[in-house]
Chains A and B, each alone.
Chain A
Amino acid sequence: MDARLSRREALGVLGAPLAAGTKSKVVVAHGAGMNETALLRALDNAMRACFDVDTSVEAWRRVVKPGEVVGLKVNCLSGKGNSTHVVLVEALCHRLQEAGVPAKNIVVWDRLNSDLESAGFRPSTNPNRVRYMGNDTLGYGSELATHGEAGSLLCRTLTDVCDAVINLPVLKDHGIVGVTMALKNMFGAIHNPNKYHINVGDPYVADVNMLGPIRRKVRLHLCDAISAQYEGGPSFMPQWTWPFNGLLVSQDPVALDTVGWRIIEQKRAERGMPPLKAARREPTYIARAGGPGYRMGVSDPARIARVEV
């Protein structure tokens, strides 16, 4: 497997670089709770705003095409406490099917089947329905994908099954790398995430996201912020979790993480906690991912359009 991006792929898949003066858009949709109707409304609002279209179906058709197999990369590390919520995944599956993606072409995946189960998903490989698969179902490829300091085997769900991926992280603190959202969630696609937490994840998080199949296939980042956590992550710590009741949506993982980081810092300040820099876990990997040699998005807040809906 060649993990590098060709120039053609880079330009074709990632889209043209932002024109001068153009801002990278991150939509923060409010009113998302565990109520399905409210959640669908928030999701629709977010998608319409993100793509400047009138209907959510139009928006989803900008993300995926009928016939493609679409992976939904959830984050289940916090069990039922604060993982990607089942109700959000169900809402998303509903909208994808309306946009022409049949259920059999939707694959919900994370590291392990046991992780999926702990968050309330039921692992299933039934080819006629939405599939739920941990990486232990198909395993990992045999060829190393490399970029910078990262050298990893990628899960076959990503490389062999999915044509496109929608990234569904959770908005939360991380005790080692500062925060975990869009960029960090891709650690669930590699065989050796334990090797990449050193040095606050910098440059490892950025390097992993540069691996070819990840860069090629991840189309949208939809961060579950129904409840969010500002301390003690990635494990679920109810005392440090609050109901944000929101969704963060962007095509730019760097911008999304920048906005999410700010939300967490704001909550930490409200609760009298030191900023992550003072706690010696400033997520410098976010700026790295937007910087020279990576250019995966925008980390400068002045160049991010935060759209509240």
Chain B
Amino acid sequence: MQRRDFLLSAASGAAAASDARYTREAKFYDKLPHKKIKCKLCPRECVIDDRERGYCGVRENRGGVYYTLVHSRVVAAHVDPIEKKPFFHFHPGSTAFSIATAGCNVNCKMCQNWDISQVRPEQVTSNYLPPEGAAEVAARYHCASIAYTYSEPVIFFEYMIDTAERAHAAGIKSAVVTGGYIQPEPLKLLCGKVDAIKVDLKAYSEKFYRETVNGELKPVLNALVEMRKLGMWTEIVYLVVPTLNDGEQEFRGLARWVRTYLGTDVPLHFSRFHPEYLLKNLPPTPLSTLERAHSIAAAEGLHYVYIGNVPGHPAENTYCPKCRRAVVERTGFAVRATHLKKGNCEYCRQPIAGVWEG
């Protein structure tokens, strides 16, 4: 998306001196005595005093009523290849109109987008892009989907839900890129509105979640299981951070858990870490570590294991689990060739799990 178009779509954004247009009563919270509230959107369950905000920084208690401050308040908007999210089994080769607001419900020390995820909405430049505007821009740019990404879409839940509804009405799908730190009830509602969810599983240890993410692993695992139960197309990305979550036992434990609770058809992407934010002291992930993770997960029986952030690596391709031939060939975010017919391997007719057309 060109800067000019974004600004035009945000036509009156510059005049948004008041935050009223961005403010909606939040879903999922309990009112407590003395004008306090308890947020029920994510497992953190922040108890928030009047005039205070939750951990995410974008939901505020005003006189005992809880509000989201980021509805239609977009801080980033781009037309991206869907492979950039990454989704490898969801309309490959298509583009996604990708949007984000400020805020996040965790604080990962390796965050690559901390300048929008770890700030309050009023601390960054934003533009007004209501749900119908987002759907309109996506259609104008022939995007197959809208992706809710970059920061953490759980914290702009209301905007995401409203936008997904508008997008569906225009024949556009919705894909969510999330940490998966969400309560069951909102997750259920979300799964009824969107078409695919990619979960950034930060590690397979509570220690890493506690010390590096400021969150918890168990609710994320529970959310993944629930997504699959609800029939949601799900992919997992695991950012491999040197010395912190790169143990062989952790890779194996993760692969076994995915196989047991989600099934062998859930794609698992091992991505290369680059030094960012509060972990600038660590080096990029060695390729050998990523390849070790890949081979462990494949050996555990997962059908679709990838290596990410290493453009040109053969593990960017999708291979048929039966005949082992490449059915989707990629370099970086570009799809070079597909060998699928109605979701089946062109060579051996083996069904390849995913959302391929429609």
5 nearest A-B pairs in the assembled complex, by CB-CB distance: A235-B49, A194-B57, A235-B50, A151-B278, A195-B107
Residues of A within 8 A of B336 (CB): none
Check A291 for interface membership: any CB of B closer than 8 A.
Answer: no
The residue among A136, A192, A237 with the most chain B CB atoms within 10 A of its own CB is: A192
Smallest Cβ-Cβ distance to A240: which chain B residue: B34
Residues of A within 8 A of B277 (CB): 144, 151
Query: Taking A151-B278, A234-B49, A235-B51 as contacts, is the C-beta distance between A198 and B214 under 8 angstroms?
Result: yes
Residues of A within 8 A of B214 (CB): 195, 198
CA distance A153 to B277 in the complex (A): 12
27 interchain pairs (CB within 8 A)? Answer: A77-B51, A79-B51, A136-B122, A140-B123, A146-B278, A151-B109, A151-B278, A175-B36, A175-B47, A176-B47, A191-B120, A191-B123, A192-B118, A192-B120, A194-B53, A194-B54, A194-B56, A194-B120, A195-B214, A198-B214, A232-B34, A233-B49, A234-B49, A235-B34, A235-B35, A235-B51, A237-B34
CA distance A67 to B13 in the complex (A): 42
CB of B155 to closest CB in A, whole Å? 11
Residues of A within 8 A of B54 (CB): 194
Interface residues on A, range: 20 to 34
CA distance A197 to B214 in the complex (A): 12
Check A139 for interface membership: any CB of B closer than 8 A.
Answer: yes
Residues of A within 8 A of B49 (CB): 175, 233-235
CA distance A79 to B52 in the complex (A): 13
CB of A241 to closest CB in B, whole Å? 13
Residues of B within 8 A of A79 (CB): 51
The residue among B35, B36, B51 with the most chain A CB atoms within 10 A of its own CB is: B51
CA distance A118 to B50 in the complex (A): 13
Contact with A along B86-120 (1 / 0, CB 8 A): 00000000000000000000010100000000111
Residues of B within 8 A of A151 (CB): 109, 277-278
Q: How many residues of B contact A (CB 8 A)?
A: 23
Chain B residues numbered 47-79 whose CB sits less than 8 Å from any CB in chain A: 47, 49-57
CB of B214 to closest CB in A, whole Å? 7
Chain A residues numbered 185-241 whose CB sits less than 8 Å from any CB in chain B: 191-192, 194-195, 197-198, 232-235, 237
Contact with B along A126-166 (1 / 0, CB 8 A): 00000000001001100010100001010000000000000
Residues of A within 8 A of B50 (CB): 235
CA distance A63 to B53 in the complex (A): 35
CA distance A244 to B73 in the complex (A): 44
B278 touches A198 (CB 8 A): no
CB of A122 to closest CB in B, whole Å? 19
CB of B309 to closest CB in A, whole Å? 23
Query: Taking A197-B55, A235-B35 as contacts, is the C-beta distance between A191 and B122 under 8 angstroms?
Result: no
B55 touches A234 (CB 8 A): no
CA distance A188 to B109 in the complex (A): 22
CA distance A195 to B107 in the complex (A): 7
Contact with A along B247-286 (1 / 0, CB 8 A): 0000000000000000000000000000001100000000
CA distance A175 to B120 in the complex (A): 22
CA distance A136 to B124 in the complex (A): 11
Residues of B within 8 A of A198 (CB): 55, 214
CA distance A218 to B107 in the complex (A): 28
Chain B residues numbered 122-138 whose CB sits less than 8 Å from any CB in chain A: 122-123
Contact of B55 among A144, A175, A191, A194 (CB under 8 A): A194
Contact with A along B196-239 (1 / 0, CB 8 A): 00000000000000000010000000000000000000000000
Q: A192-B119, A195-B118, A235-B51 are in contact. List 12 more A-B contacts (CB 8 A).
A: A144-B277, A146-B278, A153-B119, A175-B36, A175-B49, A191-B120, A192-B120, A194-B53, A194-B55, A195-B57, A234-B49, A235-B49
Smallest Cβ-Cβ distance to A233: which chain B residue: B49
Smallest Cβ-Cβ distance to A114: which chain B residue: B51
CA distance A232 to B34 in the complex (A): 8
Residues of B within 8 A of A237 (CB): 34
Smallest Cβ-Cβ distance to A151: which chain B residue: B278
Residues of A within 8 A of B123 (CB): 139-140, 191
CA distance A18 to B313 in the complex (A): 60
CA distance A195 to B277 in the complex (A): 15
Residues of A within 8 A of B57 (CB): 192, 194-195
CA distance A191 to B114 in the complex (A): 12
CA distance A136 to B123 in the complex (A): 8
CA distance A140 to B49 in the complex (A): 25
CB of A114 to closest CB in B, whole Å? 10
CB of B50 to closest CB in A, whole Å? 5
CA distance A140 to B50 in the complex (A): 24
CB of A157 to closest CB in B, whole Å? 14
Contact of A195 among B36, B51, B52, B55 (CB under 8 A): B55
Smallest Cβ-Cβ distance to A146: which chain B residue: B278
CB of A59 to closest CB in B, whole Å? 35
Smallest Cβ-Cβ distance to B49: which chain A residue: A235
A234 touches B52 (CB 8 A): yes
Smallest Cβ-Cβ distance to A76: which chain B residue: B51
The residue among B34, B35, B36, B49 with the most chain A CB atoms within 10 A of its own CB is: B49
Residues of B within 8 A of A197 (CB): 55
CA distance A237 to B64 in the complex (A): 14
CB of A177 to closest CB in B, whole Å? 12
CB of A143 to closest CB in B, whole Å? 11
The residue among A139, A151, A233, A234 with the most chain B CB atoms within 10 A of its own CB is: A151
The residue among A194, A198, A233 with the most chain B CB atoms within 10 A of its own CB is: A194
Residues of B within 8 A of A136 (CB): 122
CA distance A235 to B54 in the complex (A): 15
Residues of B within 8 A of A176 (CB): 47
CA distance A73 to B122 in the complex (A): 21
Smallest Cβ-Cβ distance to B122: which chain A residue: A136
